[in-house]
Amino acid sequence: MTFRLLRIISVGCALWAPFGAMAQQVAFGGLETDTSAPVEITSDSLNVNQTTGQAVFSGNVLVIQSDMRLQAGTLQVEYGNEEQSEINRLLASGGVTLVAQSNAAESSDAVYDLRSGTLVMTGDVLLTQGQNAISGTRLTVDMETGKGQMDGRVRTILTPGGR
């Protein structure tokens, strides 16, 4: 009886610990992707500025890289060289949804730095992993390793046993 009570208390403490945290480290195994894979972008329209080296995709934007899918209202592409053949960063806005395997994340905006392989989602971030959910104001993920951190007022909902 005592062992069972201690187990219940320890599980309860583990479940409640994230609620008071200002930042939480999380493993995003399903969000890791091959950052060297080609990036495919589709949208309703495209505006290219040769002077600034930027392209803006607008309307129903869909970005596909390996198993990752990112949807947004607008996507700005920043190139890293004069030939505009190397993409440095993708800046998504207008409601962003990222799906990779059994993980999904939503936010207001996102910046994907292809050089560093880092994705930063900001503004009412919600991440779901199966039946578990985590929310905060900023999610930073290393897309190569799947390691990430949720910052802000972090709220976690865990479903024990996958129910």
The pLDDT of residue 144 is 82
Round to the nearest angstrom and report the end-to-end CA distance of the chain.
Answer: 25
Ordered structural domains, the chain, with CATH:
22-162 (2.60.450.10)
Model confidence at 31, in pLDDT bands (50, 70, 90)?
low
DSSP states along 43-73: -SEEEEETTTTEEEEEEEEEEEETTEEEEEE
pLDDT tens profile 109-123: 999 998 898 999 999
22: Cβ contacts below 8 Å, ≥ 6 apart:
151, 152, 153, 154
Which has more confidence, 12 or 158? 158
The pLDDT of residue 49 is 86
Do 154 and 136 form a contact (C-beta atoms < 8 A)? yes
Scanning the structure block, which residue is given the tokens 């609620």? 19
